[in-house]
Amino acid sequence: MTRPLDGITVVTLEHAIAAPFCTRQLADLGARVIKIERPGSGDFARAYDERVKGLASHFVWTNRSKESLTLDVKHAQARLVLDALLERADVLVQNLAPGAAARLGLSFEALHARHPRLIVCDISGYGDDPANPGPYRDKKAYDLLIQSESGFLSITGTPDDPAKAGCSIADIAAGMYAYSNILAALIQRGRTGQGSHIDVSMLESMVEWMNFPLYYAFDGAAPPPRAGAAHATIFPYGPFPAGDGKHVMLGLQNEREWLAFCSGVLQRPELASDERFASNSRRVANRQALREVIGEVFGALTAEQLIDRLDQAQIANAHINDMHDVWAHPQLQARGRWAEVGSPAGPLPALLPPGRVDAWDPRMDAVPALGQHSDAILAELGWNDSAIGALRRDGAI
């Protein structure tokens, strides 16, 4: 079965999350991803924790189906290896510190004349375009810092305290925009024969995701308030406690659903014509009064009884699952969404990539050990055993 990116080779100088997440998507589609890591320590995400049979959770998530080549890119012999790799590569991805790739001679401008078909993707916190660096180019840009700079924290949390997202959404956003731009650049190269330069900023990726609250606060209007897990501008929409101590998430979107909620769930149809609650804006304005009414009814029901009423009334709802619930989620199990991949610690479960396609199966190969493929890659590039041994003794690999 042919995959869309079979035959495409990606060389990546990556660490942490944004670039590895991008290149793992490319590997899922069949690309050969050669991950260059620092000898001895590798991608520093390898040491974030030991939660997956001694391996780091972030690293297992973002690095399956890749080949690991250890290479000290500052070593005198490293350039020969990099040049040999780039002769065969279709894409170079890097998320080194701003300006570091250029100092290594790996900028698009430096490479394009020798490798005109090469696509170069730079991922950084604030953008790494030397022609227009901006005042933030050299600032450190970790995920939480970008969540803060992008305004995400200003609309997330409770009225008293901002809260970050529980996963690395700024890294994920940048990684996915890098991935989609690389796919577009490959299509463009198929038409023009020329590679292109992609400059992805974590800040710009997150601000794109912030466009609803930006427009909501357009022209000086008040921004959406922080509303915890509830919706800031629609009510009832959010978590509500049931009588057994569990919470249920529910959401109403229109007046038809409000009528069904009053009659079928609350079993108080007269509330539908109560002037305090006759429109969404009035329900938001009288949120606390309506919350008390809902609490009286929900307090007499278990979470499962409440979900049954909501389902019967065709009101959108969800369990508030923890991680253990998600591992055992019946919908994921029923759709066969879990596979198994190899790793240095043995077989591990892995979620299949979102999006079922009938024309190919995603690549689901092992998470690599540090430097696992160094000898094989170098031999493929023309280094013999003696030369590989010399590189290792010199600390180049």
User: What's the CA gap between 397 and 81, in Å, rounded?
Assistant: 10
Q: What is the DSSP letter of 60?
A: H
**Buried-exposed string 27-39: b where 16+ CB fall within 10 A, e elsewhere:** bbbbbbbbbbbbb
User: What's the CA gap between 273 and 347, in Å, rounded?
Assistant: 58
Give the 3-state secondary structure of residue 108. helix
Chain centroid offset of residue 357 CA: 20
User: What's the CA gap between 107 and 111, in Å, rounded?
Assistant: 6
**Which residues, in sequence order, are CB contacts of 256 under 8 Å at separation 6+?**
none
Q: Confirm if 272 and 225 have CB atoms less than 8 A apart.
A: no
Identity of residue 109? E
User: What's the CA gap between 374 and 391, in Å, rounded?
Assistant: 11
**CA proximity to 89, closest of 60, 119, 61, 113:** 119
Residue carrying structure tokens 């803060």: 148
Cα→Cα distances 378→367, 374, 382, Å: 20, 6, 6
Q: Could you say which of 171, 199, 325, 385 is catalytic? A: 171
Torsion sign across C-alpha atoms 188, 192, 195, 196: negative
Q: Nearest-5° angle of CA 249, CA 320, CA 254? A: 20
- The yes-or-no answer on residue 6 being catalytic is no
- Residue 22: beta bridge partners? none
Q: Which residues are catalytic?
A: 171
